[in-house]
Amino acid sequence: MALKIFFCALILKLASSASDQFTYNGFKGVNLSLDGLAGITSDGLLRLTNYTMHGMGHAFYSVPLRFKRSQVDNVASFSTTFVFVISPEHPMLGSAGFTFVLSPSKDLTHSLSNYFLGLVNMTNNGNASNHILAVEFDTWYSPEAKDINSNHVGIDINSYISNQSAPAGFTSDDNGKFESLILLSGEPMQAWIEYDGINMQLNVTIAPLWTPKPKVPLLSSTINLSNIILDHMYVGFTAAEGTSYSYHYILGWSFKMDVRAPELNLSSLPPLPKTSTSFEKNQKILSLWLPLVLSVLGLIIAAGATTVLVVRKKKFSELHDDWELEFESNRFHYEQLYKATRGFKDEYLLGVGGFGKVYRGVLPASKMEVAVKRVSHESKQGLREFVAEIVSLGKLRHRNLVQLLGYCRRKGELLLVYEYMPNGSLDGFLFSNGEKLLDWSMRYQIIKGVASGLQYLHEGWDTVVIHRDIKASNVLLDSDMNGRLGDFGLARLYDHGAAPQTTNVIGTLGFLAPELARVCKVTTSSDVFAFGAFLLEVVCGRRAIEPNKQEMEQVLVDWVFVNWKMGTIYETKDLLLGEDYVLEELDLVLKLGLLCSHPLPSARPSMRQVTQTLNGDSPLPPLTELNSCIISPVSVLIGK
């Protein structure tokens, strides 16, 4: 009897052999297969990526596990839990994200970074022969990947396009309420991924560290994995960076070929990574050494040093108010920006816009290129709302928006830090008198991009964001010549009465919808009106209003409208285009431009309709509405 029990115990022990389950509370001395940017830090953190643009990293358990046991094809149950931290270089800016992955091979080095997440590449994406199952933790909104937002968790099969996804968060066991989590917060979170082989149910749950596993999973999907999972698979992680970067860390990980993965001992996980920039380190070193230096060198030198410090303090002084504490993580130090732009030297001046001067800079610690906008403001009134709004707008992420990285506040001015756009603004190309050429395919790509960015502002966020100042000079071009909308939300500053030197009109003449003259309420359709004028600018290669032209041609919309009525609409196109254009596309954009510029807001299409039309997903709305315009659009406003 005793012997039998002993044998049973032995068999049980053999059945759940060491490779069937593992628990790592930290990774010191653990033998994982790592490649790319992945590594194990001296503290025992598993690092998947460090700050490297377009980099990626993979980490796999070194031997494959057996997922199909019986003769039948059924996939066994499995479960895993791990603790992760995503620590971005800039608090508002993610990179691509990371995944937990099951793969037949641990060599995924031919996959790509960015939204490919280090999982697949252009050629094998979506191919059933990949046999890849992944759970993605995605911090970047990529329309290509049909992402729902820039902070979500998804189940991916053979592809970077998720089968199912949900905004990051958890349902509280206490009150049943959904609590959002920000993956990029730099705070540790725990994830649980469980597959029930019998009911074929895959559950994914996340929660802040130390919160017990919530009962309701974030994602729950019934999937027959038989055709996806092979007999033997590797388990591990992939992570990828985009044009901005994050550290992706795993602090602890357990796995079991059964339903309940071993619990992690949360109190023995390695300490959290420190995220101080070298700038902060310098400051610490200064404050450590200063007292020592002072006591050694004595009073006279001390006095000198103090003077230097006072001067330095004044030079780099900033304004801080109590209400700003909550935005602290989005702040840059003035000294950082001062160094980045070499003291705001003229050679670093990129341009002077309606809101102030813009400088190019290179951040001292990360060497990241940025654009710094100095906006002067004297009044304190409304500043808090404005900063809150700027910070929340910075959370908007779309590849056709210029990303705001943070701000800094000094006496009389606000400094806004943006991603640097190497190709400058669109008007620099359109109105360069042929010095810089933009062919039709580039123009069409820019138009589609800006439309998609504006649609995101209008519909992609909890609150509708109205740009208020769409025009070619507010469209910037990134290194791939994609059009990106800049300056969104800045027009609000005028509302808050902070820059009183100009008129009350928010926006730019020629782009202002006629109804704004009557009711001073901006709407998404007034943005659409400006977008219409922008479309015409791009096709016709001229500004919305050119007072030096003959009277009939001064207002671009009017001129195109009249030409459309006379059947000569193509004569309005930019002569620099020559014969290089696609007639159908040109026709579509001109007519769309007129429709968007309709004097009646209700007759204008929505940005959703506009993008659908531009992408060929729906036909051009009928132009019958335009026929009824007796008076042409802009003249109403400028009172001709």
Rounded Cα distance between 599 and 583, Å, is: 26
Closest contact distance (angstroms) between CB of 391 and ligand NAG is 27
Using the minimum distance from each CB to ligand NAG, give the nearer residue, 46 or 533: 46
Closest contact distance (angstroms) between CB of 73 and ligand NAG is 5
Rounded Cα distance between 77 and 258, Å, is: 5
- The four Cα atoms 143, 145, 150, 153 give a dihedral, to 10 degrees, of 150
The answer to whether 268 contacts ligand NAG (rule: CB under 6 A) is: yes
For residue 634, give Cα distances in angstroms to 260, 509, 522, 538.
Answer: 67, 9, 16, 18
Chain-centre distance for alpha carbon 207:
22
The answer to whether 265 contacts ligand NAG (rule: CB under 6 A) is: yes
The answer to whether 227 contacts ligand NAG (rule: CB under 6 A) is: yes
- Of 157-165, 422-430, 569-577, 594-602: span binding ligand NAG (CB under 6 A): 157-165
The answer to whether 217 contacts ligand NAG (rule: CB under 6 A) is: yes
634: its two tokens: 């802009």
Closest contact distance (angstroms) between CB of 141 and ligand NAG is 17
Closest contact distance (angstroms) between CB of 557 and ligand NAG is 42
Using the minimum distance from each CB to ligand NAG, give the nearer residue, 121 or 381: 121
Using the minimum distance from each CB to ligand NAG, give the nearer residue, 27 or 488: 27
354: its two tokens: 């309606």
Residue type, 503: T
| 446 φ/ψ angles, rounded to the nearest 5 degrees | -65, -45
Rounded Cα distance between 96 and 111, Å, is: 14
Query: Which of 132, 157, 477, 626 lies at the binding interface for ligand NAG (CB under 6 A)?
Result: 157
Q: Is 469 a catalytic residue?
A: yes
Residue whose token pair is 């010095």: 435
Query: Which of 101, 161, 181, 522 lies at the binding interface for ligand NAG (CB under 6 A)?
Result: 161
Q: How many residues sit close enough to ligand NAG to count as binding (CB under 6 A)?
A: 32
The answer to whether 196 contacts ligand NAG (rule: CB under 6 A) is: yes
Rounded Cα distance between 609 and 620, Å, is: 9
79 near 256, Cβ under 8 Å? yes
Rounded Cα distance between 355 and 487, Å, is: 9
Closest contact distance (angstroms) between CB of 154 and ligand NAG is 10
Residues 30-89 that bind ligand NAG (CB under 6 A): 31, 37, 39, 50-52, 62-63, 73
Closest contact distance (angstroms) between CB of 15 and ligand NAG is 20
Catalytic residue among 156, 469, 527, 574: 469
Query: Which of 19, 171, 172, 201 lies at the binding interface for ligand NAG (CB under 6 A)?
Result: 201
The answer to whether 224 contacts ligand NAG (rule: CB under 6 A) is: yes
CB atoms within 10 A of CB 4: 8
Shortest CA distance to 400 belongs to which of 489, 479, 478? 478
141 near 101, Cβ under 8 Å? no
Using the minimum distance from each CB to ligand NAG, give the nearer residue, 31 or 568: 31
Query: Which of 123, 463, 501, 548 lies at the binding interface for ligand NAG (CB under 6 A)?
Result: 123
Helix, strand and coil percent figures for the chain, each rounded to 5? 30, 25, 45
Residues 475-504 that bind ligand NAG (CB under 6 A): none
DSSP characters over 24-90: ESS-TT--EEEEET-EE-TTS-EEEE-S-TT-EEEEEESS-EE---SSS-PPPPEEEEEEEEEEESB
The answer to whether 211 contacts ligand NAG (rule: CB under 6 A) is: no
The answer to whether 124 contacts ligand NAG (rule: CB under 6 A) is: yes
Using the minimum distance from each CB to ligand NAG, give the nearer residue, 7 or 178: 178
The answer to whether 277 contacts ligand NAG (rule: CB under 6 A) is: no
Using the minimum distance from each CB to ligand NAG, give the nearer residue, 133 or 607: 133
Rounded Cα distance between 256 and 77, Å, is: 9
Closest contact distance (angstroms) between CB of 266 and ligand NAG is 8
142 near 153, Cβ under 8 Å? no
- Of 122-130, 454-462, 554-562, 601-609: span binding ligand NAG (CB under 6 A): 122-130
The answer to whether 171 contacts ligand NAG (rule: CB under 6 A) is: no
Q: Please, what is the end-to-end C-alpha distance for the chain in angstroms?
A: 106
Residues 6+ apart with CB under 8 A from 209: 83, 187, 188, 189, 190, 266
The answer to whether 512 contacts ligand NAG (rule: CB under 6 A) is: no
Show which residues are catalytic.
469
The residues that touch ligand NAG, with contacts defined as CB under 6 A, are 31, 37, 39, 50-52, 62-63, 73, 110, 121, 123-124, 127, 129, 157, 161, 163, 194, 196, 201, 203, 217, 220, 223-224, 226-227, 259, 265, 267-268
